[in-house]
Amino acid sequence: MKSPAIPVNEPQRLASLHESGILESGDPQRFDRLTRLAKRLFDIPVALVTLVDEDVLIFKSHDGIDITTLPRNISFCGHAIFSESPLVVTDATQDERFADNPLVEGDAHVRFYAGYPLRLPDGAIAGAFCLVDRQPRSFSHSDLDMLKDLAAIVEGEFAAINAATTDELTGLFNRRGFNSLANYAIRSAARRAVPLTLGWLDLDGFKKINDRFGHAEGDVALKTMAMLLKNSFRDTDLTVRYSGDEFAILFSDTDENGAWIAMQHLVEEAEAFNLTSGKPWKLAFSWGVTEFNQDGSTLQEWLNTADQKMYTMKNKEESKGR
């Protein structure tokens, strides 16, 4: 058996998958309708919408089987995410990649597989729309076209879910997206025994920008802050416009000291922007960082601690300005 390899862009692909909100969100009935339709269209016993996570294959919809996850290392979809083209296996017993796969030799008795890669709005491949049969079968060009059309509908659903967790003005995740993904990140960090740190920031003097230069310039300030966040941190760090002029950064695999250094870099980037922007206003912010305590802390307690640290800095800066 040939286990699926790991894509070279795997950290970015997983970050896109986790940050999309698709793992936790979305009405499963919408996907179930499509897998039911696929079974009728292709006269096939199993149709799936799958997401390829770090170690497991997650079934967003599974019509024809009862399980909801599968080890990634024996999955067909783990191979399907390597190409923009569909993966079609007409007889798995004759394919050296799958002939001795447990899904082929065992009770699942997989013989035929067709998987069309499913893309997220940012282009990352999340998983596949899959057809599975327990008998070998052929798959025509018209069959491929129908599978492609179904995959496109699923991708439209992915885009709708993503939009519901994204701030329209800045393109960062919104409060809903953060709350959903932060809980996932906490569980993941605990499972892998790695640190997770929250950065919290609030723009200084934002109301003055709006009052003096107009809301259009206020929007420019918010979008500039979002741009600096995206450019200053790793693809695996979650950046959020939490509300109004409040922003958050979820630093994965990073302790409080590491997050502090990263935030200092953000301060330097903001100062560089102010020197060259030509804007009549300056971009400034107060911030705080706090590492998540896995020994009983809640998400809300974590947010409150970061918020308090941010306000401590803000009060110090305001005292200096008096």
Q: Is 169 within the bounds of a domain? A: no
**pLDDT at position 61:** 95
Q: Return phi, psi of residue 250, to 5°.
A: -100, 110
**pLDDT at position 321:** 59
Q: Is 1 within the bounds of a domain? A: no
**Based on the domain organization, do 14 and 157 belong to the same domain?**
yes
Q: Is 229 within the bounds of a domain? A: yes
Domain that holds residue 101: 10-164
Q: Which residues of 103-122 are buried (b: 16+ CB within 10 A; e: fewer)?
A: bbeeebebbbbbbbbbbbbe
- Here the CATH number for the domain that contains residue 223 is 3.30.70.270
Could you tell me which of 69, 94, 70, 97 has the C-alpha nearest to residue 82? 97
Q: Is 4 within the bounds of a domain? A: no
Tokens of 77: 């979809």
Query: In 10 A of CB 171, how many CB atoms?
Result: 13
Using CA atoms in the order 221, 226, 232, 233, what is the torsion angle rounded to 10 degrees?
Answer: 160
**Based on the domain organization, do 183 and 290 belong to the same domain?**
yes
Residue 283 is given by DSSP the state -
Distances (CA, A) of 268 to 228, 249, 265, 271: 10, 16, 5, 5
**Based on the domain organization, do 51 and 157 belong to the same domain?**
yes
User: Angle between the 28-42 and 141-164 helix axes, to the nearest 10 degrees?
Assistant: 180
**pLDDT at position 297:** 80
Kindly give the residue spans of alpha helices, DSSP state H, lying in 20-76.
28-42
Tokens of 163: 């939009």
What is the C-alpha separation between 155 and 254, in angstroms, rounded? 32
Residue 173 is given by DSSP the state B
DSSP 89-144: ES-GGG-TTTTT-HHHHSTT---EEEEEEEE-TTS-EEEEEEEEESS-----HHHH
Question: In 144-256, at which residue ranges do the beta strands (DSSP E only) sit?
Answer: 196-203, 238-243, 246-252
| pLDDT block averages, 10 residues each, the chain of length 322 | 88 86 80 94 96 94 92 95 92 96 95 97 95 97 95 94 89 88 82 90 94 95 96 89 94 94 96 95 95 85 92 82 52
**Based on the domain organization, do 202 and 290 belong to the same domain?**
yes
**Based on the domain organization, do 196 and 238 belong to the same domain?**
yes
- What's the chain's length in residues? 322
What is the C-alpha separation between 97 and 73, in angstroms, rounded? 12
Q: Is 303 within the bounds of a domain? A: yes
- Structural domain total, the chain: 2
Q: Residue 37: what residue type?
A: L
Could you tell me which of 4, 23, 1 has the C-alpha nearest to residue 101? 1
End-to-end CA distance of the chain: 71
